[in-house]
Amino acid sequence: MLRKARLSDVDAIFSLISYYAKRGLLLPITEGLICEYIRDFCVFVDEDEVVGCAALRIFTKDLAEVRSVAVKPGWERKGIGKKLVEFCLDEAKKLELQRVFVLTKAVDFFKACGFVQIDKKSLPQKVWRDCMGCPKFPECDEVAMIKILGG
């Protein structure tokens, strides 16, 4: 079942993101920041267990980012990640956003979700808001991709 995240999901979201952050696949996030941005998150739940998460973070009135997409080990390749991304994209459409981007190492996955590769320089909002404080800046190894929602 897909649903918006609740504060009771913070520990599970933190655990999922931390697992992939330790492997260099996601950027780490604190429990405090998850609480602060809990309204951005959605989760996939199976029998009361959070087995996946993703977040939609709004940057401007027409631009948002899908981030922190994580699926519990053992639950991969079951379509959960794609459903989480689609949930975020549906929310973006309801908010009348025009563009949704990702910074990722999972290029093939996001390509399958309809994203296309772009130059990171076309996302100055992201660079100034988040990237300047990232330990990987300016040598970021992630690929920028975008999906145009229309409108």
Amino acid making up residue 148: I
Q: How far separated are the first and last CA of the chain, in Å rounded?
A: 29
Q: What is the pLDDT along the chain (151 residues), one digit of tens a residue?
A: 999 999 999 999 999 999 998 998 888 899 999 999 999 999 999 999 999 999 999 988 999 999 999 999 999 999 999 999 999 999 999 999 999 999 898 999 999 999 999 988 788 655 545 554 555 555 667 889 999 997 5
Rounded distance, CA 88 to CA 27, Å?
Answer: 19
Rounded distance, CA 83 to CA 43, Å?
Answer: 10
Is domain 2-148 classified as CATH 3.40.630.30?
Answer: yes
Domain ranges of the chain: 2-148
Amino acid making up residue 134: C
Q: Which residue has the tokens 């973006």?
A: 92
